[in-house]
């Protein structure tokens, strides 16, 4: 790997604020999340000499006398762990062979991003730090790394030992960019084609893209006639992707799995699409050898993308069937523009209303005829991605000139809609939380109800009742118990909706002395 590539990887991880770790924990040797192929060594005691010596046994708390044993008694021996994804490493655990005779008494640590360019962990004097090892063969020793280092590969260099250089290890730290991203219901999957592997015998296995998650017991299957099949996963906001996993078709009597595949990625479905490559060539991934075992691949060159496509090139059975997962850096903190968190702790998902053309049927804020739907800067403020609660940054609906004020956004094409989140102005000072002196505050308190409708037809006439049909209704919120007067209002559709146009209707209270009412929409966000 070139120095330029290493620099690019470091820039990707640092720009993602990936190393804000809340805690340090074992990274997978003890739990065997780190597989045997991720552990290597300068040499190992031959199995025919001692069957309990193996790199795969170099795990703290291994049973019996199992451990890694160097072939030679030399200070040049080392054992290496590939963490798969770069980690912030804050400490290590070491243990001897637990046989009463063999353990390492001192060692050094080096780390790398590519297994070619290495750096040593240094001490306070900027010299290679010599770590104190174990004092017997069975107790576990924890050693801190005062200034955590970032790397994917870690080597333990044996310097001195008792009996023979044999050891078990664990690495402590955090890997925020090793999180699963392709999880339902947030990640969205599509495919070039879909087909059930056997409708008669397995009606529960549909073979659709929604069966392609690793958590399912089915799989996505392409049609047999599909010459260039692909499975696409939308992970949400563009982020760093570090690994993929695949499985075959699960609970099904026939053998169906993908043995080889390629990958491409993009930030838009319209492209440009980039083929994943290593050493300048398109990389072919070796996938599964059975339908149950999960096969994981860590990218030598992590990349930033929103969409990732799997292109099966070889498979077992009459058609390609697979389940797939993607791992990387989840979005932390505030979502970028065009995305939202529906709930406080939920992942960022696409805001399908962001930046779309919007309209109002109210002439108060622009010079148009009553009842004619018109776009304006005022209407567009509700979809500009700015949640600023100042009234000057919001869209205002009122009944000064229309009895049924509506706001509408054109989503561009018919799309599934699961709900809407509305950020409102509540007529209060954001710092003191006290009411501001504005007539809009009184008008807003006259508001009784906000209703969301979804339709496939755009209405430009005064006959808004054609929009407000029960069949088009997504949901509503009323002023009961102050539910309507929250800063953030979530309206989840009562049933699955599909349409191109999303409408919000404001209704006033009939028992107030003033019949004037206003709804102030600072941001309207819709999600599928």
Task: Kindly list the domain boundaries of the chain, sorted by start residue.
Answer: 25-174, 180-197+206-329, 339-366+375-429+437-527
For 388, other C-beta atoms within 10 Å of its C-beta total 15
If you ran DSSP here, which 8-state letter would residue 306 be given? E
339-366+375-429+437-527 matches 180-197+206-329 in CATH topology: yes
CATH code matching the domain that covers 25-174, chosen among 2.60.120.260, 2.70.98.40, 2.60.40.10, 3.20.10.10: 2.60.120.260
- Greatest CA separation for the chain: 96
Burial 221-257 (b: 16+ CB within 10 A, else e): bbbeebeebbbbbbbbbbbbbbbbbbbbbbebeeebb
261-300 pLDDT, tens digit per residue, is 999 999 988 889 999 999 889 999 999 999 889 999 999 9
The number of C-alpha atoms within 13 Å of 52 and in the hemisphere containing its C-beta is: 13
94-111 pLDDT, tens digit per residue, is 999 999 899 999 999 999
Interval 456-466 mean pLDDT: 65
Q: Which residue has the tokens 């808004």?
A: 464
Through-space distance between the first and last CA atoms of the chain, rounded to whole angstroms: 40
303-331 pLDDT, tens digit per residue, is 999 999 999 999 999 999 999 999 999 88
Are 498 and 454 contacting, i.e. CB atoms less than 8 angstroms apart?
yes
Interval 415-443 mean pLDDT: 75
Q: Is the pLDDT of residue 336 over 70?
A: yes
Are 359 and 379 contacting, i.e. CB atoms less than 8 angstroms apart?
yes
Architecture label for domain 180-197+206-329: Sandwich (2.60)
Q: Is the pLDDT of residue 372 over 50?
A: no
Are 280 and 329 contacting, i.e. CB atoms less than 8 angstroms apart?
no
- Chain centroid to CA 422: how far? 24
- Chain centroid to CA 30: how far? 26
Q: What are phi and psi of 55, to 5 degrees?
A: -65, -30
Q: Is the CATH number of domain 339-366+375-429+437-527 1.10.1740.10?
A: no
To the question of pTM greater than 0.75 for the whole model, the response is yes
């Amino acid at each position: 790997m070139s120095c330029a590539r290493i620099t690019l990887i470091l820039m990707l991880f640092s720009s993602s604020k990936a190393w804000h770790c809340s805690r340090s924990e074992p990274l997978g040797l003890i739990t065997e999340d780190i597989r045997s192929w991720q552990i290597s060594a300068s040499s190992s005691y031959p199995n025919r000499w001692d069957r309990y010596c193996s790199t795969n046994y170099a795990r703290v708390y291994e049973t019996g006398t199992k451990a890694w044993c160097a072939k030679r008694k030399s200070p040049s021996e080392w054992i290496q762990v590939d963490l798969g994804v770069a980690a912030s490493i804050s400490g290590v655990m070491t243990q001897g062979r637990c046989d009463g005779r063999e353990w390492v008494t001192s060692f050094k640590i080096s780390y790398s991003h590519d297994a070619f360019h290495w750096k040593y962990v240094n001490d306070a004097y900027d010299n290679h730090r010599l770590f104190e090892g174990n004092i017997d063969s069975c107790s576990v020793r924890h050693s801190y790394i005062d200034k955590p280092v970032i790397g994917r590969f870690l080597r333990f260099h044996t310097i001195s030992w008792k009996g023979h250089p044999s050891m078990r290890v664990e690495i402590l730290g955090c890997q925020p960019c090793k999180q699963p991203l392709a999880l339902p219901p947030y990640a969205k999957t599509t495919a070039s084609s879909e087909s059930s592997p056997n409708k008669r015998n397995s009606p529960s296995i549909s073979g659709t893209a929604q069966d392609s998650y690793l958590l399912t017991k089915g799989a996505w299957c392409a049609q047999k006639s599909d010459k260039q099949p692909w499975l696409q996963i939308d992970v949400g906001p563009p982020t760093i992707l570090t690994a993929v996993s695949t499985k075959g078709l699960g609970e099904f009597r026939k053998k169906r799995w993908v043995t080889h595949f390629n990958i491409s990625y993009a930030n838009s479905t319209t492209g440009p699409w980039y083929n994943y490559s290593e050493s300048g060539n398109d990389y072919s991934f070796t996938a599964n050898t059975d339908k149950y075992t999960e096969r994981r691949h860590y990218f030598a060159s992590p990349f930033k993308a929103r969409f990732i496509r799997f292109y099966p090139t070889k498979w077992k059975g009459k058609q390609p069937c697979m389940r797939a997962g993607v791992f990387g850096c989840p979005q932390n903190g505030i979502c970028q523009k065009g995305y939202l968190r529906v709930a406080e702790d939920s992942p960022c998902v696409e805001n399908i209303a962001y930046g779309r053309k919007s309209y109002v049927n109210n002439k108060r804020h622009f010079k148009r005829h009553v009842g004619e739907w018109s776009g304006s800067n005022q209407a567009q403020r509700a979809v500009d991605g700015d949640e600023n609660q100042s009234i000057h940054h919001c869209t205002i609906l009122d009944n000064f000139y229309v009895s049924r004020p509506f706001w509408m956004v054109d989503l561009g094409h018919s799309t599934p809609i699961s709900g809407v989140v509305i950020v409102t102005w509540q007529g209060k000072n954001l710092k003191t939380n006290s009411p501001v002196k504005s007539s809009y505050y009184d008008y807003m308190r006259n508001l009784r109800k906000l209703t969301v409708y979804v339709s496939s037809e755009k209405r430009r006439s005064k006959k808004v009742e054609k929009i407000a049909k029960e069949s088009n209704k997504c949901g509503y919120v009323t002023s009961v118990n102050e539910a309507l007067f929250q800063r953030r209002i979530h309206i989840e559709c009562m049933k699955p909706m599909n349409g191109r146009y999303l409408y919000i209707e404001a209704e006033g209270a009939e028992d107030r002395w003033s019949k004037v009412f206003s709804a102030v929409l600072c941001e309207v966000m819709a999600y599928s």
